[in-house]
Amino acid sequence: MTGESTAPAPRRRGRPSRTQSEQGPAMREVILDAAREQFSERGYEKASVRSIAKAAGVDSALVHHYFGTKEQVFAAAIEVAFAPALAAPTAVAEGSLDDVGERLTRFILGVWENPKTRTPLLAIVRSAVNNETAATVFRRLISTQLLARIAERLDLPDAELRAELAAAQLVGTAMLRYVIQVEPLASADVEQIVARVAPVVQGHLTGP
Amino acid sequence: MTGESTAPAPRRRGRPSRTQSEQGPAMREVILDAAREQFSERGYEKASVRSIAKAAGVDSALVHHYFGTKEQVFAAAIEVAFAPALAAPTAVAEGSLDDVGERLTRFILGVWENPKTRTPLLAIVRSAVNNETAATVFRRLISTQLLARIAERLDLPDAELRAELAAAQLVGTAMLRYVIQVEPLASADVEQIVARVAPVVQGHLTGP
């Protein structure tokens, strides 16, 4: 437990000392990094508050103190991992609705093209596909923080369904290009994909 | 090992007896059922030829005899599980290209709507998302038996990319509706989804 030195005060179960609370933000980050690693390596089911605490070099009680249950640690961890994608509503809002399809398509493909943002995304998708609880946490996140916010900008009937069907085209494209890697899609130029996918996304979002 | 009685002849490792070979088709089915169950329950990584043999009540050598390596058992198992979806090229071929989008959309949603065909599909998706080897086997299957065959019917430039982008819309819709279950998409009427998705699939397949 190499990180032990970063949690110096004597601890009692379930009651972090004042010293620990004072170094809150840094410690929270350390635990969150460990959590992301654990969920990513072991999957939602096999990761535990205990294994996360061990990886962070702290007591399990401290993990509970900052985050609560395993489900809540997971929610916090995927919010961080998903942060780049959560900027999508901003990309949608910045500019006219006339080319929102292209802006959103470029934005999402950009997140997937970059290995640094792709790897944590992939870990979330894996957890969500494998475990009901993880899927529920993920659903809540993308519904409230992504799809509802995009829908909000549209100001059209069925805005949420529109946002979801647009997302479906983008999610499916990402699955086949980056996860399953079918050819020629996996090797196609990004611009070629944008040219074909952006009009579809635009149609879902603002079409008749 | 309840199935032990179905493999009566004395066996030597790696050399199934003539009796066993004679009951080939039935035994092959028994092993394939066990394999599907094992891959579905334990995932690709944790399932093994040994665990499949045990579940089928036979010797590992018999599994090797009929299928070869674990990868080859997996390929055979997902081909069975994926069989309903593999009829899609036939659905595409039966009728005019003018409404191929609607035919394909209805066909794929039909496979996902039915719990009997959805469950094995979901197990494959899980394995493919979690493991590189499983993804490779799955990629090979959908490329050669699904996408290439649909592309063949189109007789258009970029036919394979067209088939893949149409599949992307359908795969993404299935992921968000049946796996992640975002609302309102998860509870939307199938007809409403067909009305919105079929024109997109048609556009990818035959559009300009």
From the list B125, B160, B176, the residue facing A164 with the nearest CB is B176
Determine, for residues A180 and B130 on separate chains, whether the beta-carbon distance falls below 8 Å.
no
End-to-end CA distance of chain B: 59
Alpha-carbon distances, residue A124 vs A79, A136, A138 (angstroms): 10, 12, 8
What pLDDT is recorded for position B92?
83
Whether the per-residue pLDDT at B5 is higher than 60: the answer is no
Q: Is the Cβ of B188 closer than 8 Å to some Cβ of chain A?
A: yes
Q: Is the Cβ of A126 closer than 8 Å to some Cβ of chain B?
A: yes
Q: Is the Cβ of A106 closer than 8 Å to some Cβ of chain B?
A: no
Q: Residues A153-170: pLDDT tens digits?
A: 888 889 999 999 999 999
- CA–CA dist A47, B143 (Å, integer): 34
- CA–CA dist A31, A58 (Å, integer): 8
- The pLDDT mean for chain B works out to 85
Question: Where does residue B22 fall: left (phi above 0), alpha (psi -120 to 50 degrees), or beta otherwise?
Answer: alpha
Nearest chain A residue (CA) to B125: A129
What pLDDT is recorded for position B24?
66
What pLDDT is recorded for position A125?
81
| Contact residues, A window 52-91, toward B, CB-based 8 Å cutoff | none
End-to-end CA distance of chain A: 59
Q: Is the Cβ of B176 closer than 8 Å to some Cβ of chain A?
A: yes
- The distance of A71 to chain B (nearest Cα, Å) reads 16
What pLDDT is recorded for position A92?
83
Q: Report ipTM (2 d.p.).
A: 0.80
Burial class (CB in 10 A: 0-12, 13-18, 19+), A117: middle
Q: Are B103 and B95 in contact (CB under 8 A)?
A: yes
Determine, for residues A129 and B179 on separate chains, whether the beta-carbon distance falls below 8 Å.
yes
Q: Which residues contact A85 (CB under 8 A, 6 or more apart)?
A: A108, A111, A117, A121, A146
Q: Are A200 and A105 in contact (CB under 8 A)?
A: no
| Residue A96: Cβ within 10 Å count | 7
Q: What mean pLDDT do residues B152-169 have?
A: 93
Q: Residues B51-97: pLDDT tens digits?
A: 999 999 999 999 999 999 999 999 898 888 888 888 888 888 888 89
Nearest chain A residue (CA) to B134: A180
- CA–CA dist B82, B102 (Å, integer): 21
Nearest chain B residue (CA) to A181: B139
From the list B139, B182, B184, the residue facing A182 with the nearest CB is B139
Whether the per-residue pLDDT at B167 is higher than 90: the answer is yes
Most A-contacting residue of B112, B169, B179, B201 (CB-CB within 10 A), to test interface: B169
Determine, for residues A175 and B168 on separate chains, whether the beta-carbon distance falls below 8 Å.
yes
What pLDDT is recorded for position A187?
97
Q: Residues B30-63: pLDDT tens digits?
A: 999 999 888 888 888 889 999 999 999 999 999 9
- Cis ω before A184 (30° cut-off from 0): yes
- The distance of A54 to chain B (nearest Cα, Å) reads 25
Q: Are B76 and B38 in contact (CB under 8 A)?
A: no
Sign, CA torsion B40/B176/A35/A84: positive
* DSSP H or E segment with residue A149: helix A148-154
- The distance of A61 to chain B (nearest Cα, Å) reads 31
For the domain with range A82-206, which CATH number is right: 1.10.10.10, 1.20.1600.10, 3.40.50.720, 1.10.357.10? 1.10.357.10
Residue of B7 and A49 predicted with greater confidence: A49
Q: Are A146 and A88 in contact (CB under 8 A)?
A: yes
What pLDDT is recorded for position A23?
65
Q: Is the Cβ of B139 closer than 8 Å to some Cβ of chain A?
A: yes
What pLDDT is recorded for position B198?
97
Alpha-carbon distances, residue A74 vs A70, A136, B181 (angstroms): 6, 11, 19
Q: Do domains B2-69 and B82-206 have the same CATH topology?
A: no
- The distance of A168 to chain B (nearest Cα, Å) reads 4
Q: Are B43 and A46 in contact (CB under 8 A)?
A: no
What pLDDT is recorded for position B40?
81
Each domain of chain B, given as residue ranges in start order, spans 2-69, 82-206
- CA–CA dist A16, B27 (Å, integer): 60
What pLDDT is recorded for position B129?
80
Q: Is the Cβ of B21 closer than 8 Å to some Cβ of chain A?
A: no
| Nearest alpha-carbon partner for B112 in B96, B101, B100, B124 | B124
Counted across chains A and B, CB pairs separated by less than 8 A come out at 122
Q: Which residues contact B2 (CB under 8 A, 6 or more apart)?
A: B57
**CA B187, B39, B14: angle at the middle one, nearest 5?**
160
User: In chain B, what residues touch A168 (CB-CB under 8 Å)?
Assistant: 169, 172-173, 175-177, 185, 197
From the list A125, A143, A200, the residue facing B200 with the nearest CB is A200
Whether the per-residue pLDDT at B185 is higher than 50: the answer is yes
Q: Which residues contact B186 (CB under 8 A, 6 or more apart)?
A: B176, B177, B178
Q: Residues A69-102: pLDDT tens digits?
A: 999 999 898 888 888 888 888 888 888 889 999 9
From the list A126, A175, A188, the residue facing B130 with the nearest CB is A126
The band of B182, judged by pLDDT with boundaries at 50, 70 and 90, is very high
Q: Which residues contact B97 (CB under 8 A, 6 or more apart)?
A: B153, B154, B205, B206
What pLDDT is recorded for position B19?
52
Written as tens digits, the pLDDT of chain A (208 aa) is 444 444 444 444 554 544 544 566 788 999 999 998 888 888 888 899 999 999 999 999 999 999 999 999 998 988 888 888 888 888 888 888 899 999 999 999 999 999 888 888 888 888 888 888 888 888 888 898 889 888 988 888 899 999 999 999 999 999 999 988 999 999 999 999 999 999 999 999 999 8
Does domain A2-69 correspond to CATH entry 3.40.50.300?
no
- CA–CA dist B163, B93 (Å, integer): 13
